[in-house]
Amino acid sequence: MDFNEEQIQRYSRHILLQDVGVEGQEKICNARVLIVGAGGLGAPIAFYLAAAGIGTIGLIDGDTVDLSNLQRQIIHFTEDVNKPKVLSAKEKIERLNPDVKVITYHKLFTSENAFDIIKDYDFVVDGTDNFPVKFLINDACVLAGKPFSHGGILRFDGQTLTYKPGTACYRCLFHAPPPPGAVPTCSQAGVLGAIAGMLGTIQAAEVLKYFTGAGDLLTNRLLSFNAKSMEFRTINVHPNSNCPVCGKHPTVTTLIDYEQAVCEIKR
Amino acid sequence: MANYNLDITHEHCPMTFVKTKIELAKLKSGDILNVRLTEGEPLQNVPKSAVEQGYNVLSIVETETKGVHIVVIQK
Ligand SMILES: [Zn+2]
């Protein structure tokens, strides 16, 4: 593709990088990324991917903006309260970078629609806040051979892992969702707003590294941090031959909608 | 092996090297790009950045116009 004068200016700081350059920026501009969840993680992910010029961004989220979201979901503004999150996010993305094509799905990501939606994308980003959908994203991507970025935040902690076919998946590390009763209840499940930005931008950087080939992805490495001590660590992980979905004798061969803890349903 | 020309005398840092990279991206390996630039910052930075990013700077020649040079870069 030939960049026009505006695009050369807009993407100049990427073009200057040896590891991105003109070729890398072209790959970014041709990329199609699905972000599951337009909330705390989805907001910075969508912002940075849009700013970077990702060609097509898909956004799936069934929620509408609530006042309690604004403490961390920075793509939504006060006047967006009650608006579908995907619509609010699409409006901001288009204002940030009109080059980006945004496709919205104002619905839940479920076992019924997962394969049909992810098939149109090159990479999937988990920006959700509940275990059932995290496992659903993992299983759908592993079974479809689709790379994805797992991300999770709670209180002051964040963790992320990048998956490419053949590397350790989320289930290799965590076999199944915790039972609904074991999930922190509403009163326990606060989150420091800025943590969403910390983790979401790491996930966005992984997406850009994936498409440009720059550096080493967080594949077979789980990165976690705690913002109170501000300590980051990565632990090496590896594909688990007993993994229920990518192991030698998989028991998960179709998609499952796990039960969601009651207080996770209304956030 | 083809020869191309690029004039960045009207550009400022860092667009000088951005424009150079845009042109180099269109070339085939071995092709030559003659980059016309002004002395000072562009002359200091463009050849240095080109070398850092793996291109060959074959020569730097002064032109008849005062303060304007041609940097010959091979992809
Ligand atoms: Zn696995």
Q: Give the CATH number for residue A189.
A: 3.40.50.720
pLDDT at A266: 46
What residues of chain A lie within 8 A of the CB of B17, using their CB? 16
How far apart are the C-alpha atoms of A27 and A194, rounded to whole Å?
30
Residues spanned by the domain of A91:
13-236
Give the nearest partner residue to B25 out of A9, A12, A23, using CB atoms: A23
Distance of CA B2 from the midpoint of ligand 1 (Å): 51
Residue A255 lies inside a defined structural domain of this protein: no
Look-up: residue for tokens 């590896």? A238
pLDDT at A102: 98
pLDDT at A181: 75
Q: Give the CATH number for residue B55.
A: 3.30.110.40
The CA-CA-CA angle for residues B35, B41, B47, to 5°, reads 40
User: What is the nearest CA distance from B52 to chain A, expressed in angstroms?
Assistant: 9
Question: pTM of this prediction?
Answer: 0.94
Confidence category of residue B62, pLDDT binned at 50, 70, 90: very high
Residue A243 lies inside a defined structural domain of this protein: no
Residue A245 lies inside a defined structural domain of this protein: no
pLDDT at A121: 98
The DSSP secondary-structure symbol of A185 reads P
Residue A108 lies inside a defined structural domain of this protein: yes
Residue A242 lies inside a defined structural domain of this protein: no
Q: What ipTM, to 2 d.p.?
A: 0.92
Distances (CA, A) of A25 to A51, A52, A205, A212, B54: 12, 8, 14, 7, 18
Q: Does B17 sit within 8 Å of A8, measured CB to CB?
A: no
Residue A1 lies inside a defined structural domain of this protein: no
Concatenated DSSP letters for B52-63?
HTT-EEEEEEE-
CB contact at 8 A, A164 and A219? yes
pLDDT at A264: 55
Q: Does A18 sit within 8 Å of B22, measured CB to CB?
A: no
User: Judged by CB atoms within 8 Å, which residues 53-72 of B form the interface with A?
Assistant: 53-54
Q: Does A8 sit within 8 Å of B25, measured CB to CB?
A: no
Ranges of residues in chain A with a pLDDT under 70 are 185-188, 261-267
pLDDT at A216: 98
What residues of B are labeled active site?
Answer: 13
Q: Which residue has the higher pLDDT, A183 or B8?
A: B8
pLDDT at A267: 44
Residues spanned by the domain of B20:
3-74
- Residue B15 in contact with partner chain A when CB distance is under 8 A: yes
How far apart are the C-alpha atoms of B40 and B22, rounded to whole Å?
22
Residue A105 lies inside a defined structural domain of this protein: yes
Residue A261 lies inside a defined structural domain of this protein: no
Looking at the 3D structure of chain A, how many domains does it have? Answer: 1
Give the nearest partner residue to B18 out of A16, A18, A23, using CB atoms: A16
Looking at the 3D structure of chain B, how many domains does it have? Answer: 1
Q: Does B22 sit within 8 Å of A3, measured CB to CB?
A: yes
pLDDT at A111: 97
Q: Does B25 sit within 8 Å of A21, measured CB to CB?
A: yes
Q: Is the per-residue pLDDT at B31 higher than 90?
A: yes
